[in-house]
Structure 1
Amino acid sequence: MNLASFQRRHGLCFRDESLLRQALTHRSWPHEQDGPAGLEGNYERLEFLGDAVLAFAVTRMLYDRFPDLPEGELTRLRSALVRSETLAAVAAELELGALLRLGRGEDQNGGRQRRSILGDAFEALLGAIFVDSGQSAADDFVRTMLGPLIDDLPEADLLDPRSRLQELCQAALFATPVYETRAESGPDHQKQFTVAVCVLDEELGSGQGNSKQAAAQVAARAALEFLRREGRLPESGGE
Structure 2
Amino acid sequence: MSLNQQHINARRRLQNQLNHRFSNPDLLKQALTHRSHSPQNYERLEFIGDSILDYVIAKMLYETFPKLPEGRLSPLRAQLVKESTLAEIARQLNIGDALLLGVGELKSGGHDRASILADALEAIFAAISLDADFMTAEKIIRQLFSEKINQLDTNTSAKDPKTQLQEWLQAQKWALPKYRIEQQTGEGNDARFDVSCDLGELGYISHATASSRRAAEQECAQQALQWLKNRFPNK
* Rounded Cα–Cα distance in structure 1 between residues aligned with 2:21 and 2:76: 30
Matched, 1:22 2:30: yes
Q: Which residue of 1 aligns with 2:117?
A: 118
- The runs of 5 or more residues in structure 2 that have no matched partner are 1-8, 157-228
Q: Which residue of 1 aligns with 2:15?
A: 7
Contact 1:57/1:138 (<8 A) preserved? no
TM-score, reference length from structure 2: 0.61
SS of residue paired to 2:20: coil
* Rounded Cα–Cα distance in structure 1 between residues aligned with 2:67 and 2:31: 36
Contact 1:26/1:100 (<8 A) preserved? yes
Deviations 1:17-73 (A, max 9, x none): 11000000000112xxxxxxxxx6100000011011111111111111111111111
Q: Which runs of structure 2 are paired with 1:50-65 in the superposition (5 Å)?
A: 50-65=49-64
User: What is the CA RMSD across the aligned residues, in angstroms?
Assistant: 2.2
Q: Which residue of 2 aligns with 1:97?
A: 96
Q: Which residue of 1 aligns with 2:4?
A: none
Quote how far apart the aligned CAs of 1:110 are.
0.6
SS of residue paired to 1:102: coil
Q: Does 4-13 or 19-28 show the bigger shift? A: 4-13
Q: Which residue of 1 aligns with 2:83?
A: 84
Q: Flag as ranges the 4+ runs of structure 1 deviating above 4 A.
A: none
Which structure's CA Rg is the greater one?
1
* Rounded Cα–Cα distance in structure 2 between residues aligned with 1:114 and 1:24: 13
Contact 1:150/1:156 (<8 A) preserved? no
* Rounded Cα–Cα distance in structure 2 between residues aligned with 1:136 and 1:59: 15
Q: How many equivalent residue pairs?
A: 153
Q: Percent identity?
A: 41
* Rounded Cα–Cα distance in structure 2 between residues aligned with 1:85 and 1:9: 20
Q: Which residue of 1 aligns with 2:129?
A: 130
Matched, 1:72 2:71: yes
Quote how far apart the aligned CAs of 1:156 are.
4.4
* Rounded Cα–Cα distance in structure 2 between residues aligned with 1:231 and 1:101: 48
